[in-house]
Structure 1
Amino acid sequence: MDLTILYRGPLASCDYDCPYCPFAKRRDSRAQLTADRAALARFAEWAAAQGEHGDRLSILCTPWGEGLVRSWYRRTLAELSRLPHIRRVAIQTNLSCRTDWLAEADLDTLALWCTYHPGQTPYDRFLAKTRELTALGARFSVGIVGFPEHLEHARRLRADLPEQVYLWVNAAEGRSYTDAEAARWTALDPLFPFSRHPHESAGLPCRTGESVISVDGDGTVRRCHFVPAELGNLYDGSYRTALRPRACPRSVCDCHIGYVHLETLPLYDVFAGGVLERIPAAAPPARAIQLLRPTPP
């Protein structure tokens, strides 16, 4: 079985205080950090054992906080990347951590989904980290939230990043973009039209719940982060009998880690080989983006 897992443990602390994030500068207690470390170790042990069953796994860690400032995330990702049945292991990160740990990882398997947050770290420091990743041969994408005040930062990033590094732009939550505003962001990220509007998803086929699942620190399995209904537990195997094709029960899906799995969108083709780390298979030409552009609700 080929299975994609979105893992989110108890960790909810971050070293940044972005005004648009509810977990900004939140601090986990020692007990909470201990619980998160134990939960990740349990998950990693389970993932390592799945090779004995012939399963192949792709794993994206989507912590509420920043995982890579914690040693157990760095170590676990590196260890998982070296297992032959792990097709991909990736994590969302603000890239505030050091990068030398990547020398212990299989960089054909491990990848990073990096977000630049203006005002939280000096631009030159963030850019230097991306250059370290490039020198190490790591696969990564870089992105930014599409607030008007971030536009010049995004333009600077696009100019300074290597051409092959994809710069993505997330539409700011709840923000409506004029066509002129959207055009400015699309000039930087040709795939921005997919983020601009929430996707009507009710009743549409989605890979979540069949080949994609969400797992929390207790091993509770759901189809995705955005649908609370439980499918079973990872560690007792009860989730397996629940895996089947499913239609989306939500009216709309407005987060990339959700709508990327909608079968009605072409994003598995666009991101072929890089779905979890948000790296397109190739830079899509403008005409292709025009053809793929979703219809606004």
Structure 2
Amino acid sequence: MRGPVGTSPGELTILYRGPLASCDYDCPYCPFAKRRDDRGRLARDRAALERFTAWVAGRDHPVSVLFTPWGEGLVRSWYRRAMVELSHLPHVRRVAIQTNFSCRPGWLAEADLDTLALWVTYHPGQVPYERFLGRCRDLVARGVRFSVGVVGLPEHLGQARRVRADLPGEVYVWVNAAEGVVYTDDEADAWTAIDPLFHHSRTPHRSAGLPCRTGDSVISVDGDGTVRRCHFVPAVLGNLYDGTFTPGARACPVAMCDCHIGYVHLETTGLYDVFAGGILERIPARPHPG
């Protein structure tokens, strides 16, 4: 049995985002809705992902990977293949992906489910509810580790309540505060009834000068291998493939952090304890957090 993510000396967690920017959904709050990548871009994305997968396979120290594509990755065969291949490597502690899970689930039969996990987002209006619920129930039946969440828009509240009621209690349902929305206490209470950890998303976290694991044990990597501390700080720290990146503790240089994949790594939030063993797939250590 492999150890929990983030507990091994020298372990590196990588947030990977390649050139892919196309999606099969057209959510009005997403700039990549129904965007189409041409064949050239798709070919570059595939080659970049295969290069990254080969790099991970060649490591001799623990690695965990979260794929955070701008678009939808699992509708592309090369992302499904990468997830399966990485899940079987003994030094890979976790491989996860942010996904709308619009793809068929059969490919999961080939994966090591002790290692693979999914961060699934439900987008009301983009998929029939019963189809989405059926996919989630399929994941439960297969024993796949996954969380499910929604964007906390007022028009999504009813559907979010329905998801929470229809899924088993052990499936964590999270809520991301919608960009630009200021929640009253009553509105926040309604979302907190679904996600007891909603308060972490409701208000941006002060981060300037505070200790953060990004740049040291957690890094962001793009399709060219360029390393940054995270997706939200543009400064380049080197390249994964040419040996110019050296991990090191660095205080956060930005004033505020308002995205879960960023602030979860801030040491001051204490979220490594809350999500112990499930940091990348956003699964708390307890079924009913808070």
The interval holding the TM-score normalised by the smaller chain is: over 0.9
Choose which of 268, 271, 281 in structure 2 pairs with 1:264: 268
What is aligned with 2:192? 186
Report the TM-score when normalising by structure 2. Answer: 0.96
After the TM superposition, list the runs of 4 or more consecutive aligned residues in structure 1 that deviate by more than 4 angstroms. none
Choose which of 49, 53, 58 in structure 2 pairs with 1:49: 58
1:14 is displaced (CA, Å) by 0.1
Higher helix share: 1
Distance in 2 (CA, whole Å) between partners of 1:280 and 1:115 is 16
**Contact in 1 for aligned 2:117/2:281 (Cα 8 Å):** yes
Report the TM-score when normalising by structure 1. Answer: 0.94
Spell out, residue by residue over 1:81-131, the C-alpha distance to the aligned partner (whole angstroms, 9 max, x if none): 000000000000001001010001000000000000000000000000001
User: SS of 2:243's equivalent?
Assistant: coil
1:244 is displaced (CA, Å) by 1.1
Q: Which amino acid aligns with 2:278?
A: G
What is aligned with 1:198? 204
Structure 1 residue 142 corresponds to structure 2 residue 148: yes
Structure 1 residue 21 corresponds to structure 2 residue 30: yes
Choose which of 157, 162, 167 in structure 2 pairs with 1:161: 167
1:238 is displaced (CA, Å) by 1.1
Choose which of 63, 66, 82 in structure 1 pairs with 2:69: 63
Structure 1 residue 253 corresponds to structure 2 residue 262: no
Q: Which amino acid aligns with 2:102?
A: S
Kindly report which structure 2 residues correspond to 1:1-297, keeping only aligned pairs within 5 A, or say none. Answer: 1-51=10-60, 55-240=61-246, 243-284=247-288, 289=290
RMSD, aligned CA: 0.7
5+ residue gaps, structure 2, are: 1-9
Distance in 1 (CA, whole Å) between partners of 2:224 and 2:71 is 17
Q: Which amino acid aligns with 1:179?
A: D
Distance in 2 (CA, whole Å) between partners of 1:106 and 1:246 is 34
Distance in 2 (CA, whole Å) between partners of 1:233 and 1:77 is 23
User: SS of 2:178's equivalent?
Assistant: coil
1:245 is displaced (CA, Å) by 1.0
Q: Which amino acid aligns with 1:32?
A: R
Distance in 2 (CA, whole Å) between partners of 1:174 and 1:84 is 42
User: SS of 2:215's equivalent?
Assistant: coil
Spell out, residue by residue over 1:246-270, the C-alpha distance to the aligned partner (whole angstroms, 9 max, x if none): 1111010000000000000111000
What percent of counterpart residues are identical? 74
What is aligned with 1:292? none
Distance in 2 (CA, whole Å) between partners of 1:245 and 1:42 is 27
